[in-house]
Structure 1
Amino acid sequence: MVSKEIEIKNSQGLHARPATLLVQKATRFKCEIKIEYKGKSANAKSLIGILSLGISKGANIVLSTKGSDENAALKEISELVEGFEG
């Protein structure tokens, strides 16, 4: 398992549009991918799960991956999330 802390920079947080892009990217990987925020976690392959976390601008989330392609998943998804500006 590998993980990384990421600050959300998007002015609207991790709302529906960026969350949808995140889910689309996450489903390409075989490994388990989780997002943790304020003591709660969600499967990054679940749009409803991500939205239920209520992640706002300035939030620090922890992205964790576990499985055969965990390193590639962590790299690509963290780059995607860090690139959400606005």
Structure 2
Amino acid sequence: LSSERRKIELDAWEPPSMARERAKASIVTLGDYADKCIEHRNLKPRTRSGYKDLLRLHIKPAMGKIPIRNVSAAVVKDWYKGLGTEHA
């Protein structure tokens, strides 16, 4: 309550529903981040296509919706382990 009162005093208060929507909009997922990384890198067309395929087929289905702030080495290791020995 004191936190909300402080926001009112600083003229920074907003309804909780608006604050939740703003927070959701600012969340960047691993899939979104990876798309932008591939888009902005100086890659040859075939390399870009290969990266997009790997992202589409292997990364996005498993981790694409995870907020980038929640991606850790442990998350990546678990995902990689789940690929099995079929993938290099």
Instruction: Compute the TM-score of the two structures, normalised by the length of structure 1.
Output: 0.30
Question: Computing the radius of gyration over CA atoms, which structure comes out larger, 1 or 2?
Answer: 2
Larger strand share, 1 or 2: 1
Q: Which structure's relative contact order is higher, taking Cα pairs within 8 Å and 6+ residues apart?
A: 1
Larger helix share, 1 or 2: 2
